Amino acid sequence: MEKDYDFKDWTQIKVTAKTELLDNVTAVMSMVDSNLMIEDFSDIDLKTCYGDLIDESILNADKTVVSVSLFLPIEKSYTDCIAFIKDRFSAENIDARVEVIGVNEEDWANSWKAYYHPIRIGERIVIVPMWEDYAEQDGDIIVRMDPGMAFGTGTHETTKLVIAFLEKYVKDADRVLDVGCGSGILAICASKLGAGECFACDIDPIAVRVARENVEQSGQKNVHCEVSDLLRDVDMSGGQYDVITANIVADIIIRMAPDVGAYLKDDGILFASGIIVERAEEVIESLNKNGFDVVERIDDNGWCALALKKSVK
Under a CB-based contact definition with an 8 Å cutoff, are residues 98 and 82 in contact?
Answer: yes
pLDDT in tens, the chain (313 residues): 344 444 446 778 899 999 899 988 988 888 777 778 888 766 554 444 334 444 444 455 567 888 898 887 766 667 778 878 887 887 788 899 998 876 554 454 555 566 567 888 878 888 888 777 888 888 899 888 776 544 555 567 888 899 999 999 999 999 999 999 888 999 999 999 999 999 999 988 888 988 999 999 888 999 999 999 889 999 999 999 999 999 988 888 999 999 999 999 999 999 999 898 999 999 999 999 999 999 999 998 888 999 999 876 6
Given a contact cutoff of 8 angstroms between Cβ atoms, the answer to whether 287 and 308 are in contact is yes
**Predicted local confidence at residue 161, as pLDDT:** 92
What is the pTM for the complete model shown?
Answer: 0.68
Which overall architecture, per CATH, does domain 116-310 show?
3-Layer(aba) Sandwich (3.40)
Q: What local confidence, expressed as pLDDT, does residue 61 receive?
A: 58
The SS3 assignment for 33 reads: coil
Domain ranges of the chain: 10-111, 116-310
Q: Are strands 65-73 and 96-101 parallel, antiparallel or unpaired?
A: unpaired
Closest CA to 222 of 198, 192, 188: 198
Q: What is the pLDDT of residue 135?
A: 85
Same fold, 10-111 and 116-310: no
According to CATH, what is the number of the domain 10-111?
Answer: 3.30.70.120
The three-state secondary structure class of 26 is helix
pLDDT, tens only, 117-140: 788 887 888 888 877 788 888 889
